[in-house]
Structure 1
Amino acid sequence: MLFAERAKSSRTAITDLPSTEQPRPVSFRELDAACDACARGLVRSGLRPGDRLGILSLNRVEFVVVLLGAMRAGVVPVPINVKLSADTVSYILSDSSACLVFAECESKRLVPSGVRVVELGSSGSNGFEAFLDNGPFHAVEPDPDSVAIQCYTSGSTGRPKGVLLTHYGQNWSRRILAHTRGTTERDVILVAAPLYHKNALNAIKQGLTAGATLPLLPQFSVERYIEAIGRYQCTVISGVPTMMAMVIARKDLLKKIDTSSVRTVMMGSAKSSPQLLRELQEYFPNAEPLVVYGVTEGGPVPLGPHPEGNPRPPESIGMPYPGTEANLVGGSNPNEGELVVKNPGVLLGYHNLPAETANRLRDGWYYTGDICRRDEEGFYYFVGRNDDMFVCGGENIFPVEVETLLERHPAVHQALVMPFDHEMKGQVPYAFVVLRAGARATEEDLKQFALANGPAYQHPRRVFFLQQLPLAGTNKIDKERLREWVAKGSFPETSDER
């Protein structure tokens, strides 16, 4: 059980923050009782070990209760992105054979008719409170290779794929994360990334394992995020680099709070620029900014600190954790290529996708599709995605390389580069740029900067200026929306110069 040694503690485990004015502190004892009540409710409803249930909700303590309560009963939770279309949600529920869905009122409309829904936040007969069956519950003892959770990841193309993660692997993962990150009951770990994404799930598992306190925001909001850091004196904050760039952009708010409590800033799911790392160090002076590599299928965090405590280079994604093997394959030399990993947390397989499983999982090694390099000391660095790379006039371009170049310009706060079709070149890079507050630059300025400081084929053929980059459901950048804006020729807050 995730927090068995603290199950009777009256200390706060999660502070649910549905609003600034109405925080809901939940103790370890209360959380344990709620998880038991949920497990009993599942059994009373006829669910058996191995059955699937869907969770369709923004962050709230009930999400955690359903997640952990299901695992106690041997039922497999299927967290679902609330920003998906109804068709995609229907596909996930059908593919997983989920027989029950826990959903907030706003998300119920996504659930197809005929599937039973328990409404989170409702006190009615179909509400969560009525579903619970209060009392003790003896947790199911799972087989090591039994499925603990079935996450869905879309990758870059195609329909979402169900990732089967085992109880043994998840147990290994939570313990290794809590230990190597030095997490203790003195930590306060702020969670704003969605709980259906690995970033937030890892934070919950790591925090509860170590006895930390977890302030939980329904979703990411720059204002509420910064306010929570100061109010709860958070020691660990985490998210994707886009979230942190948005935080740093609000220097007016950061100057109003005390950030000295923050000891770690963790960023994953995308490359972090050297400029962003420097700015984080400036505004969180006692914190170590860490670039964290994670992939749902691969552990989900296979790389971490140096085993002997040697300093990690600022842009490195780390070295293999104890129990993890890593290698680079298919590159021009042994220290560059596709990252492959093997550890107890690697996926059991893709649900109902034997061909995809055989392609990505070979002799226990998971082929990540991420291109990395390794330095002389053994630290790994993220270069780009296999499927992000595109060819421009016969030259291979990794978008992150162009982004890193553009972010060296003194006026650029954040850059995103994507390929667009071109009649002569096949595809060419377009850049979407957020400028620093008060800074000015034109499209031509940035084109000339890229030409002067990098290979000509990499320079962006178009540059679009935005107030901020749009976020999708997982708080990653919404690239489809950017493509729609380009196609329509209409951008919010866009001009040739800012």
Structure 2
Amino acid sequence: MSNDPWTKNYPEGIEPHLEYPSQLISDFLKNSTEQFPNHNAIYYFGKKITYKDLIKQAYKFANLLKEKGVKPGDRVAIMLPNIPQYVYCYYGVLFMGGIVVQTNPLYVERELEYHLKDSGAKTIVVLDLVYSRVKAVKEKVALENIFTTSIQDHLPFIKKLLYPLVQKIKKGPYTRLDKEQVLSLKQELEQSSDKPVNSPSKPDDVAVLQYTGGTTGVSKGVMLTHMNLVSNTIQCQTWVKVKKGQGSVLAVVPLFHVYGMTTCMNFSIASGAVVNLIPKFEVDSLLKLIESQKPTIFPGAPTLYQGIINHPKVNQTDLSSIECCISGSAPLPVSTQQKFEELTNGKLVEGYGLSEASPVVIANPVWGHRIEGSIGIPWPNTESKVVNELGEQVAPHEIGEIIVKGPQVMKGYWNQPEETAAVLKDGWLYTGDMGYMDNKGYFYIVDRKKDMIIASGYNVYPREIEEVLYKHPAVKEAIVLGVPDKYRGETVKAYIVRKKGSNVTDEALNQYCRSNLASYKVPRIYEFRDELPKSMVGKILRRVLAEEHAATLEE
């Protein structure tokens, strides 16, 4: 691996090959508690939880699960936003030898039913505000244990008193849950033992089922082992050069998303750092938290950084505590990177990963040489190359499919051997992303294989057009996709969110694009929106827009 061209670009102090302890991901919490028992592990709306108190709650949940008949290897679904209960339930499941099933609180009933049936989870921890969806499917999926919890359970006393009133104002009367076959997590934990629990799991056992977004069909359960997660966490620590017992991480990326799980939660816990939990992305409250808590590390997605950049109060807020940000989940526009760094004086670099790799495999050096527009270089112990349709490696600068290999790559898809065989070949993970490598070993994403547009026989990559659109002073957000065209096969359509106060027209954008792009790449259709559909992590959902466009053709 040392002959790979990118290793020459590793910052000083980072070795291309790391040693990983043979351990469980939950051992990180044990280790940090031993080293920093009185350090704060969690900050949540003024509530602080130390490492020794966090591990007690995790042990209580582990013992509670055992008492309810949950056995090692059983799957336990966690359907929560970024609240303290998520953290200690996650580690509690792992302490007793279970498998965490990451469950999006925004799932509708159809998605939830599939998710629970596919994983075989018979136990779920769910936020009371979305319990009705669990109730609607529980008979179909034969749930045995339902634990409900509330956002208010870990709020400071005054905020806890105000919470029902706020809910009444915002969302109508605050109603208590029906109690049939439902257990209050808070009440159950009060009765549970905090006796330490030693997991029977082995490092190569599955720790987490991380479901893919389903953008290419049916959502699949990615089997991530303890060692997959341990490896990626240590790689992350090494890349950021974190010092144990120091640092503060801003967790606005959902923890049920693989990126938030690793770079916010597991990274913080392994480092003995504080994780600042934010259940919902609201720029006003986020800016206040940054000013009061001085977080140093801010993993995120481009839309999060753009939201801060475009906020009217951003220039009145001290953002100087932020030292390091790794952007993932979607391409990072160069203009966003530059503006955010000007505001913070910190580093914002683009990285690349996928659920199947825990998730990070490639990133620009935070403290070394980076290249704008590049996703960076492979992380320690990670190999990557670009191949053609025959699986043969292509020359530098030649476009092909990016494939990766490393200790963070998944075991496979849950109960889907054929799907696993299609993407895992001789240890290499075929990512489905098109790109190239330059002579120095820096990688570039051109686009997802499935997103490539073929217009009049030309290959058109949406990312290139989006980069051009983001540089226009009137464009706040943009996304491009191919739509059916009788003459060209496909044609380019751009969805635009204008900046506040702008009334830029499609004619103006057309002229601008024609001066910056070859004619076959220029969008033929522009649609202006007040907002674009996004995932919980802030990724613009191209699939939803494509479905909406297809529906208009059927009318």
TM over 0.5: yes
- 1:217 counterpart letter in structure 2: I
Q: Which residue of 1 aligns with 2:31?
A: 5
Q: Given the superposition, is the C-alpha separation of residues 50 and 206 from structure 1 closer, same or farther in structure 2, using an over 3 Å criterion? A: same
Q: Find the partner of 2:224 among 158, 165, 174.
A: 165
- 2:32 counterpart letter in structure 1: R
Structure 1, residues 325-383: CA drift from partner, whole Å, max 9, x if none? 11111179423321111111111010111111000011111111111221221111222
Q: Given the superposition, is the C-alpha separation of residues 249 and 291 from structure 1 closer, same or farther in structure 2, using an over 3 Å criterion? A: same
1:432 aligns with 2:491: no
Gaps of 5+ in 2: 1-26, 154-178
1:82 aligns with 2:105: yes
Judge conservation of contact 2:349–2:365 (CA < 8 Å) in 1: no
Q: Distance in 2 between matches of 1:16 and 1:294?
A: 28
Q: Which residue of 1 aligns with 2:459?
A: 396
Bigger fraction of residues in helix: 2
Q: Which residue of 2 aligns with 1:334?
A: 395
Q: Distance in 1 between matches of 2:491 and 2:43?
A: 47
Q: Find the partner of 1:243 among 304, 309, 327.
A: 304
The CA deviation at 1:245 is 1.1
Judge conservation of contact 1:306–1:312 (CA < 8 Å) in 2: yes
Q: Which residue of 1 aligns with 2:196?
A: 137
Q: Which residue of 2 aligns with 1:231?
A: 292
The CA deviation at 1:488 is 8.2
Q: Which residue of 1 aligns with 2:127?
A: 104
1:117 aligns with 2:129: no
Q: Given the superposition, is the C-alpha separation of residues 120 and 280 from structure 1 closer, same or farther in structure 2, using an over 3 Å criterion? A: same
Match of 2:447, SS state, is: strand
- 1:275-294 matches, within 5 Å, as 275-284=335-344, 286-294=345-353
Q: Which residue of 1 aligns with 2:416?
A: 353
Number of residue equivalences? 481
Q: Given the superposition, is the C-alpha separation of residues 365 and 485 from structure 1 closer, same or farther in structure 2, using an over 3 Å criterion? A: closer
Match of 1:367, SS state, is: strand
Q: Find the partner of 1:318 among 376, 380, 393.
A: 376
- 1:24-423 matches, within 5 Å, as 24-111=47-134, 112-114=137-139, 115=143, 116-121=145-150, 126-132=183-189, 133-184=192-243, 185-202=245-262, 203-250=264-311, 252-284=312-344, 286-304=345-363, 310-330=368-388, 333-335=394-396, 336-423=399-486
Match of 2:248, SS state, is: coil
RMSD: 2.1
Match of 1:237, SS state, is: coil
Judge conservation of contact 2:329–2:537 (CA < 8 Å) in 1: no
Judge conservation of contact 1:103–1:120 (CA < 8 Å) in 2: yes
Q: Which residue of 1 aligns with 2:174?
A: none
Gaps of 5+ in 1: 18-22, 490-498
Match of 1:219, SS state, is: coil
The CA deviation at 1:130 is 3.0
Judge conservation of contact 1:248–1:280 (CA < 8 Å) in 2: yes
TM-score of the two chains, using structure 1 as the length reference:
0.91
Structure 1, residues 231-257: CA drift from partner, whole Å, max 9, x if none? 21111112111121111111x221221
Match of 1:113, SS state, is: helix
The CA deviation at 1:310 is 4.0
Q: Which residue of 1 aligns with 2:506?
A: 443
Match of 2:450, SS state, is: coil
Structure 1, residues 408-462: CA drift from partner, whole Å, max 9, x if none? 3233233211222222222211112233444442111111221222111111112
Q: Distance in 1 between matches of 2:276 and 2:128?
A: 23
Sequence identity, in percent?
28
TM-score of the two chains, using structure 2 as the length reference:
0.82
| Higher mean displacement: 72-81 or 315-324 | 315-324
Match of 1:239, SS state, is: coil
Q: Distance in 2 between matches of 1:244 and 1:305?
A: 17
Judge conservation of contact 1:419–1:429 (CA < 8 Å) in 2: yes
Q: Given the superposition, is the C-alpha separation of residues 188 and 320 from structure 1 closer, same or farther in structure 2, using an over 3 Å criterion? A: same
Match of 1:366, SS state, is: strand
- 1:7 counterpart letter in structure 2: T
The CA deviation at 1:76 is 0.2
Q: Distance in 1 between matches of 2:388 and 2:548?
A: 36
1:474 aligns with 2:547: no
Judge conservation of contact 1:50–1:76 (CA < 8 Å) in 2: yes
- 2:92 counterpart letter in structure 1: G
Judge conservation of contact 1:433–1:466 (CA < 8 Å) in 2: yes
Q: Given the superposition, is the C-alpha separation of residues 50 and 221 from structure 1 closer, same or farther in structure 2, using an over 3 Å criterion? A: same
Structure showing greater relative contact order (alpha-carbon pairs closer than 8 Å, 6 or more residues apart)? 2
Q: Given the superposition, is the C-alpha separation of residues 139 and 130 from structure 1 closer, same or farther in structure 2, using an over 3 Å criterion? A: same
| Higher mean displacement: 237-246 or 63-72 | 237-246
Q: Distance in 2 between matches of 1:84 and 1:390?
A: 30
Judge conservation of contact 1:180–1:305 (CA < 8 Å) in 2: no
Q: Distance in 2 between matches of 1:136 and 1:479?
A: 48
Q: Which residue of 2 aligns with 1:494?
A: none
Judge conservation of contact 2:149–2:184 (CA < 8 Å) in 1: yes
Judge conservation of contact 1:183–1:212 (CA < 8 Å) in 2: no
